[in-house]
Amino acid sequence: MIEVMNLTKRFGATVAVSDVSFSAQRGEVLGFLGPNGAGKTTTMRILTCYIGADEGTAQVAGYDIYDDPVEVRRRIGYLPESAPLYLYMEVTDSLNFIAQVRGIPKSKREQRIRAMVEMCGLEGVIQKDVGELSKGYRQRLGLAQTLIHDPDVLILDEPTSGLDPNQIIEIRELIKEIGREKTIILSTHILPEVSAICGRVLIIHQGKIVANGTPESLSGLASGEEMIRAGFRGPQEEIEAKLDQLEFVSDFKRVPAEDEGTCSYELKATKGTDATANIFQFAVDNGWILTELHRQTLSLEDVFHQLTTQEVVQ
């Protein structure tokens, strides 16, 4: 449904997006992560034909953003971070106006409006002015406007920004439900949101994609090291002195042990060195009992921090 090919966008001397390529399939919710200024919103604006790229192109539902921009716009529903709403319209009038703008025939508008009111949970506020709505209901109305023409693709920029915890949960569930049939690109700063909603994640940093995979698979991309937890039954000072001499261990710290008399550590080990086997042999060679040994998975927060604090070569 989305095919992005070598997009580059410059604003003067600043390279906002640099040679970005990715794809998304129907029924996929794709998380778009990155710090402020990373290039997320710029990429979204290019996909919606709001601005043009300097190099590269993209296709949405088979239509090129340059050759067929009107067809691309027809197949996209775009919700920017601040939903564009007319505050003095009633909710139903607002939806009817957007239905007209989107070219929905008059005979079908009432049906689409009813469907959006039900899908987005607006039944209790349809007679209110938009300006009277809470932030959560305004986001719901923004989503309803985004969906009213039944687009193939949704592009949502920070859809839960500024909402309270209950509103965030409600909007997340709504997005998950919609994502069963649509292709969704979701930009967010809230990392637990990615794990809760997205099947795949792109991390963008300094205009380049630095990671692409499922939330579970990204831990292997963060650095050239892996985290290992190991427990030894032996003299603490001797264990730590010899751990410090292991070439494949770059760092370690002591952590609380489950058993009394055990020294437990989190170790940073170089990938590709068969670290767990070497640590097992290390314990055997020194005559210590090995009480635990397993790899630890980095959290999405750890991965994001590592990948977005490194300098990217342009």
Last residue of a domain, one of 194, 218, 242: 218
**Do residue 139 and residue 194 come from a single domain?**
yes
Output the domain CATH number for residue 61: 3.40.50.300
The mean-pLDDT minimum among 154-163, 223-232, 234-243, 249-258 falls in 223-232
pLDDT at 221 over 70: no
296 or 229: whose pLDDT is higher? Answer: 229
Residues near 224 by beta carbon (within 8 Å), at least 6 away in sequence: 270, 271
What domain range is 257 assigned to? 223-297
Q: Which residue has the higher pLDDT, 170 or 49?
A: 49
Which CATH number does the domain housing residue 255 bear? Answer: 3.30.70.260
Residue 258 lies in a domain: yes
Closest CA to 24 of 222, 209, 185: 185
Residue that finishes a domain, picked among 169, 187, 218: 218
- Rg for the chain (alpha carbons), in Å? 25
Which of the listed ranges 85-94, 271-280, 304-313 does the model predict with the highest average pLDDT?
A: 85-94
Same domain, yes or no: 230 and 172: no
pLDDT classification of 192: cutoffs 50, 70, 90: confident
CA dihedral angle for residue 7, residue 181, residue 193, residue 296, rounded to 10 degrees: -90
**Same-domain pairing of 191 and 211:** yes
- Rounded to two decimals, what is the model's pTM? 0.74
Q: Is 69 left (phi over 0), alpha (psi -120 to 50) or beta?
A: alpha
Q: What tokens does 87 get?
A: 């505050």
Q: Is 304 inside a domain boundary?
A: no
Q: What is the pLDDT of residues 44-101, one digit of tens each?
A: 999 999 999 999 999 999 999 999 999 999 999 999 888 889 999 999 999 999 999 9
Distances in Å between the Cα of 266 and the Cα atoms of 11, 64, 123 are 44, 50, 53
Going from the C-alpha of 261 to that of each of 50, 192, 256, 280, the distances in angstroms are 64, 37, 11, 19
